[in-house]
Amino acid sequence: MFDGFDSRHQSVAGNSIFVRTGGDGPPVLLIHGYPQTHMTWHRVAPVLAQRFTVVAPDLRGYGDSGAPPDDKDHVTYSKRTMADELVGLMDHLGFDRYSVVGHDRGARVAYRMALDHPDAISAICSLDVVPTGEMWSDLDRERAVGAFHWQFLAQPAPLPETMIGQDPAFFLEWLLESWAAPGFQFDNRAMAEYRRCFANSEVIAATCADYRAGATIDAEHDNADKADGRRIACDLLCLWGAARGFGNSAGRSPLEVWRDWVAGNVFGRPIEGGHFLPEEAPDAVLEQLLPFLLDHSE
């Protein structure tokens, strides 16, 4: 599924990050979301690799990357820590400035990278996401039901870990089906990888810790940046699922929400499909993404 790509485990500040790299040209970092792995890019990465150097890692705690134990303040799985780790990964690979494309949790890491490491990030594409603090502040009845996992996974250990661990495959597949557009079928090879990785108890624990961070320290970091007037310096492309996406904010367009956070230009539009745009609608995503990345290549 990643023909021509190399794979390796790279040690970054003591943690092991699994990463695939392929192609040639300006560097682009692809960051996946929950409950998946880098495999979510299997329909996008090969096309991008025709013009770019593509870097597709597993986030810490996900897939085949290391899953260090959480701490009481959830710093270990804060998006700031994840962002620092991926900046370190790109440094190891020889890249000091690059574009970032993030889906779901990966988009949260991407915009934290842009806020904390503005010199490293030339452009961001956010797929089906609005900032974490906005998700919590705009929580209404519809969003609370649709995004129930935000509250569930953030519960203290070991409640969600124990419940998910009774049947990880069922929980994984139920979420994927619920968030995709009706009738969409994931590639069997990708689904097999998602099942394999999500069956690991360390991955279940780490991904719950990711959401505990989202309910605490990540929201605190977002709120502090907003209060201090810190904004993302680079341009941002925002795409969101028209059918079952999480990119909409209560009463406002995602573009309006992101413009509050971005000092550069904000572009974007809805894409026909559900939450998993890189797999459900790769052609539509690439139609918007390729010119954006080419315009921002350095």
Question: What residue segments make up the domains of the chain, in order of their start?
Answer: 6-295
C-alpha 246/C-alpha 205 separation (Å) is 23
Digit-by-digit pLDDT tens for the chain (298 residues) are 999 999 999 999 999 999 999 999 999 999 999 999 999 999 999 999 999 999 999 999 999 999 999 999 999 999 999 999 999 999 999 999 999 999 999 999 999 999 999 999 999 999 999 998 887 676 667 766 777 898 999 999 999 999 999 999 999 999 999 999 999 999 999 999 999 999 999 999 999 999 999 999 999 999 999 999 999 999 999 999 998 767 665 667 899 999 999 999 999 999 999 999 999 999 999 999 999 999 999 7
3-state SS class at 157: coil
The CATH number of 6-295 is 3.40.50.1820
In order of 59, 98, 292, the CA distances from 37 in angstroms are: 8, 21, 24
Q: What's phi and psi for 7, nearest 5 deg?
A: -130, 150
Half-sphere exposure of 182 (CA within 13 A, CB side): 1
Q: Is the pTM of this model over 0.95?
A: yes
The residues that are catalytic are 104, 275
**Cβ neighbours, 10 Å, residue 265:** 11
Question: What pLDDT does residue 250 have?
Answer: 60
For residue 245, what pLDDT is reported?
Answer: 66
pLDDT score recorded for residue 247: 62
